């Protein structure tokens, strides 16, 4: 675990030094490449990084997801304090919304923020928090209770050394990266650390996820393209039955399907990112991209493992790592089933509007 932590911190630093993280934040005055986060640039970066290293992609993505709410909803003071160090790679960011009893149904979250003078007292739990344990600050979503459900949630920037915030458990997963469960016990957070208005937290969370959802699709494309490259290389060199594996039409059908699926998912991914950059609503398009790219990447990587035979299941072989790397992407930032519901709801709503009009 310590090795992964160190590697992740090092990657964040290197990505900062190399100028990559300028694309993870918004606001030129704070070190960003542009005033608003460029969704297409984020996708291109994630696709490229994922092709080479799942952990590098993760390190980049979390700097963006963990600070996106500050880029988009922070005060000038909050931006000045946090964004330059995120872009330089000297501060590690995290996004904490999930709880043991609130994952897909995130509006059911229970972690409470109670107003107490000029501050809030946070009490509750967050789990599955990427960068948990190594982050310098967390964007925490907690219930302030203005209204039930999604309308009674606010967002806070919580520094990792705040008294009352404890890393209760480090979680190991199939594609290792820093992950933890956090516990808040009378954790006092100044009201000045609240992002946006009280009760606006759910909107802040969803609009941050809206920017980065298509980039999860881009990461899946990176993994899938690497799998295709490896499959081509192995199948054109592996001799069997007097020829090479790629000479068999059954193998060619696999390669053709992998390449076509990947390119169709790429079109959906970059359409969503392009619409986002144009300032158009992308909820449905980003959901289509995330669902399709992560699902086809899983299939493409599985085909690559099959082409490699026994070698494909050797621990830490490149296709075996890809097989593990891709799996969580079909679950986090909205599982495939959640994306299906988002797409269908969008279609039904658009249809109803057309019928009425
Ligand atoms: C590697 C990893 C990193 C993560 N990082 C973060 C992070 O940084 N910050 C954070 O806040 N959270 C993070 N998460 C949590 C993630 O967002 C949740 O895992 C996700 O929202 C699903 O919630 P859950 O795990 O509680 O599953 P549940 O909500 O229990 O869902 C279980 C399954 O039910 C199915 N399902 C869900 N809804 C429906 C439906 N309506 N109809 C039919 N089936 C459905 C899906 O198949 C889903 O996988 C991370 C998770 C993973 C795996």
**333 in active site:** yes
Q: Which residues of 257-266 are buried (b: 16+ CB within 10 A; e: fewer)?
A: ebbebbeebb
The answer to whether the Cα torsion of 208, 213, 219, 223 is positive or negative is positive
First to last CA, the chain: 57
The closest of 149, 145, 172, 178 to 63, measured between CA atoms, is: 178
Q: What is the pTM of this model?
A: 0.97
Per-residue pLDDT of the chain (357 residues), as tens digits, is 789 999 999 999 999 999 999 999 999 999 999 999 999 999 999 999 999 999 999 999 999 999 999 999 999 999 999 999 999 999 999 999 999 999 999 999 999 999 999 999 999 999 999 999 999 999 999 999 989 999 999 999 999 999 999 999 999 999 999 999 999 999 999 999 999 999 999 999 999 998 899 999 999 999 999 999 999 999 999 999 999 999 999 999 999 999 999 999 999 999 999 999 999 999 999 999 999 999 999 999 999 999 999 999 999 999 999 999 999 999 999 999 999 999 999 999 999 998 887
- 243 CA to centre of ligand 1 in angstroms: 45
Residue 194's DSSP bridge partners are 156
CA distance 357 to 354: 5
From 285, 320, 325, 333, the catalytic residue: 333
Encoded tokens for 229: 């490259």
CA distance 178 to 59: 10
Q: Is 173 in the pocket of ligand 1 (CB under 6 A)?
A: yes
Encoded tokens for 273: 């990112």
The set of residues, in sequence order, having a beta carbon less than 8 Å from that of 300 and lying 6+ positions away, is: 224, 227, 228, 257, 258, 261, 262
Which residue, by CA, sits nearest to atom 30 of ligand 1? 103
The closest of 336, 237, 354 to 288, measured between CA atoms, is: 336
The answer to whether the Cα torsion of 295, 300, 303, 308 is positive or negative is negative
Atom number in ligand 1 closest to CA 333: 17
The set of residues, in sequence order, having a beta carbon less than 8 Å from that of 241 and lying 6+ positions away, is: none
């Amino acid at each position: 675990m310590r090795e992964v932590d160190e590697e992740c911190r090092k990657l964040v630093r290197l990505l900062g030094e190399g100028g990559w993280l300028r694309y993870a934040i918004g606001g030129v005055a704070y070190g960003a490449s542009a005033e608003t986060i460029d969704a297409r640039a984020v996708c291109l970066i994630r696709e490229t990084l994922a092709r080479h290293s799942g952990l590098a992609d993760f390190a980049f993505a979390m700097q963006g997801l963990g600070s996106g709410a500050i880029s988009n909803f922070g005060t000038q003071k909050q931006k000045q304090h946090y964004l330059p160090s995120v872009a330089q790679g000297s501060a590690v960011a995290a996004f904490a919304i999930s709880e043991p009893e609130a994952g897909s149904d995130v509006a059911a979250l229970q972690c409470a923020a109670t107003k107490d003078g000029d501050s809030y007292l946070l009490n509750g739990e967050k789990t599955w928090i990427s960068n948990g344990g190594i982050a310098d600050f967390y964007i925490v979503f907690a219930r302030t209770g203005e209204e039930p459900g999604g309308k009674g949630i606010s967002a806070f920037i919580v520094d990792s050394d705040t008294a009352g915030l404890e890393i209760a458990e480090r979680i190991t997963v199939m594609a290792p990266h820093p992950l933890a469960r956090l516990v808040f016990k009378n954790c006092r957070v100044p009201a000045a650390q609240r992002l946006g208005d009280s009760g606006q937290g759910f909107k802040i969370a969803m609009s941050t996820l809206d920017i980065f959802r298509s980039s999860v699709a881009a990461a899946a494309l990176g993994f899938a393209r690497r799998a295709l490259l490896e499959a081509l290389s192995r199948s054109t060199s592996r001799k069997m039955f007097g020829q090479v594996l790629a000479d068999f039409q059954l193998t060619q059908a696999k390669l053709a399907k992998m390449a076509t699926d990947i390119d169709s998912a790429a079109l959906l991914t970059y359409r969503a990112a392009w619409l986002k950059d144009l300032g158009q609503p992308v909820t449905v398009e980003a959901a289509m991209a995330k669902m399709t790219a992560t699902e086809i990447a899983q299939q493409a990587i599985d085909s690559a493992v099959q082409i490699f035979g026994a070698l494909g299941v050797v621990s830490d072989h490149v296709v075996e790592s890809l097989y593990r790397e891709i799996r969580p992407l079909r679950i986090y930032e909205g599982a495939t089933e959640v994306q299906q519901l988002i797409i269908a709801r969008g279609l039904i709503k658009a249809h109803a509007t057309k019928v009425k009009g």
